Amino acid sequence: MAETKVRIKDLIGKLIVSEEGRKFGIVGDVIFITESGELMNIVLSEPTKQAMDLQLSEDDKGRLLVPFSAVRSVKDFVIISEKDIV
């Protein structure tokens, strides 16, 4: 299967939805390690009640973070696995 490449600028503004169909918010930013390029977290913009109820980690500005390891697919939406963020 061919690798799918997505630019970070194309992630910004996409709706984040779980595999179960729950909305979590909008991709506001992406945090990565500059030395390795490893993607660490998605910063949630406009988090939903479902996202706030999960007690996700926060950045130094109090914004909720979704670990990038929870991302399963990126197309029209960013699909995440809830099991990988709790």
Confidence check: pLDDT of 37 > 90:
no
Share of the chain above pLDDT 70, in %: 97
55, pLDDT greater than 90: no
**Domains of the chain by start residue, with CATH:** 8-84 (2.30.30.240)
pLDDT top residue among 64 and 7 = 64
Q: Choose between 54 and 78: higher pLDDT.
A: 78
Parallel, antiparallel or unpaired: strands 71-74 and 65-67: unpaired
